[in-house]
Structure 1
Amino acid sequence: MPEGIQTERMPVAVRAARFLMTLQVAFALVALAIMIGTVAADPDVPTLLLLLYNATITALLGRLVSRWPSRHGAVRWGAVALEVIAGGGYVATAAIDGGLGRLALFAPGAALPLAVVVALLTPPAARWFDRQPGPGHRSGRRNRSVSPGRGIP
């Protein structure tokens, strides 16, 4: 009887980070729809720049979540960097609007990125992202065991 392919379970911290990032993308898509309506009603440069910033962050977060199963270290570090930028952008926007206080630092715009960064910097997350996916996983990458130009070893 053939045995199934053994796959390693994703650590809780990594699953939580992926869930929080998916939640961020969902809320950001709703916010983008509202912002598009605002820009259509009264276009001005600051609102357009904020719309561009939010659209870029949302697209990149979505891309990272879609690449999560590849387990590449670049996905982990890209998520950490993007969450730092997203959280910093939220805090900067709150400071510019004059609403930066203790309550603003516990708002979802600051708390979710911080939670994702903390989850991705745990040792189980580091181990999970540093391993290659098991056999039978299709990551869309070609076999890199043969170096280009060297021939077959």
Structure 2
Amino acid sequence: MNKPQRDVTLRFLAEPQDVNFGGKVHGGAVMKWIDLAAYACAAGWSGRYCVTAYAGGIRFVSPIHVGSLVEVEAKVILTGNSSMHIALEVNACDPKSLNRRKTTHCIVIMVAVDEHGQKIAIPEWIPETAADIKQHESAKKLMEMRKQIGEEMQIFVE
């Protein structure tokens, strides 16, 4: 069996249909790219079809312009029984200069499912480097914080 793929990078050019009324790539297009990269990463790790369970902490740091070369980097930073926490970073640059700058970052949780849509077990990811361990621990802290936020959010769904 092949070793699961922990990370993936999608690269493409920002197109005119991705632009908002302000002339920059709109956030919805960036979120779509993030979801696509998260799926590719999760499917590569699990070897299964995966669905998005959560997307959060998204920060739009810098705008993306039409014609920019966009890179969406995704990597597994924590696994559960069927879930994968994926850290994502979006960078963009003028393709002539290749001066990359961070535009967006966030965390997405994907869940591997079988042909009936039921959760299915995935391989465990074990951090090896100091940076991996730091991200792994941070993902665990964020998971606890999301539980608290979820409890607070109940007021809006009742």
Q: TM-score, normalised by structure 1?
A: 0.23
More strand by share: 2
TM-score by length of 2: 0.23
Higher helix share: 1
